[in-house]
């Protein structure tokens, strides 16, 4: 059976690294993006140049209609979705006393509700209850969920805590129906989301001093962990949280 992997937020960072690695392991890859059109098409071109099969498709994770269309277009072009990685996310540092409702709604619309709707669409296709043949899902969470995030990241951490809790519950629901669902919790990783701050030498030094391995992670390391959780090597693992964070935090 062909393996079709849909990756949300696949144009950059962990999502793009996962797309490239998955293609080398025989997956057909659908790369979702919201605004990074050129980057998404570059990832697709790189995969095709190496003999793989990939496509890019825009969709906003805050819009239910976009999510439904994304699954439909993936199926039309590549066949049934057998694997899903929810990597799309929104992050903005803000103190609690600076919150406004619109910002919080955006956090949860993208990081939680959009992810849950993607899982809904995947379950409707993968579950043996609905005539599917099973599948595997990885939700990209964060180590922020374990301690409430670094200072200024409490809203982001709250969404990732929701992702972890949902992952556990969803995994139990669909385990008898052939679907495995796990969460990857990266620590600080060098990516488009973090590179601006990590270019500050003092900030990077302080961050690395807080990590037991004394360094930030790389996107290829996260991709490897995701591909393991998607693979048959992890066939008895579901409802798990895998911390990929260099040992977590030194507090």
Rounding to the nearest 10 degrees, give the CA dihedral for residues 194, 186, 12, 119: -130
Residue 156 is a catalytic residue:
yes
According to DSSP H, which parts of 50-193 are helical? 64-78, 101-108, 115-126, 144-147, 154-174
Active-site residue among 27, 156, 228, 249? 156
Reference 244, options 189, 169, 162; nearest CA is 189
Q: Where are the beta strands (DSSP E) in the chain?
A: 3-8, 27-33, 54-58, 83-86, 135-140, 179-186, 189-190, 217-218, 241-244
Please give the positions annotated as active site. 156
């Amino acid at each position: 059976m062909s393996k079709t992997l849909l990756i949300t937020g696949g144009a950059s960072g962990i999502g793009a690294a996962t797309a490239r690695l998955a293609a080398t392991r025989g997956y057909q890859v659908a790369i979702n993006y919201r605004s990074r059109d050129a980057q998404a098409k570059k990832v697709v071109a790189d995969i095709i140049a190496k003999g793989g099969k990939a496509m890019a498709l825009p969709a906003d994770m805050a819009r239910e209609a976009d999510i439904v269309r994304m699954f439909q277009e993936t199926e039309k072009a590549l066949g049934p979705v057998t694997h899903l990685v929810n990597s799309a996310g929104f992050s903005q540092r803000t103190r609690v006393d600076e919150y406004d409702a619109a910002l919080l709604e955006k956090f949860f619309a993208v990081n939680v509700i959009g992810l849950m709707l993607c899982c809904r669409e995947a379950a409707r296709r993968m579950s043996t209850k609905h005539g599917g043949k099973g599948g595997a899902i990885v939700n990209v969470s964060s180590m922020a969920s374990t301690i409430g995030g670094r200072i200024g990241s409490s809203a982001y951490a709250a969404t990732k805590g929701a992702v972890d809790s949902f992952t556990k519950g969803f995994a139990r629901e669909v385990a008898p129906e052939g679907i495995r669902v796990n969460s990857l919790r990266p620590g600080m990783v060098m990516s488009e989301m973090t590179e601006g701050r990590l270019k500050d030498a003092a900030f990077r030094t302080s961050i690395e001093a807080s990590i037991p391995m004394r360094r930030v992670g790389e996107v290829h390391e996260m991709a490897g962990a995701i591909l393991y959780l998607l693979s048959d090597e992890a066939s008895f693992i579901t409802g798990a949280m895998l911390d990929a964070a260099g040992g977590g935090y030194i507090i």
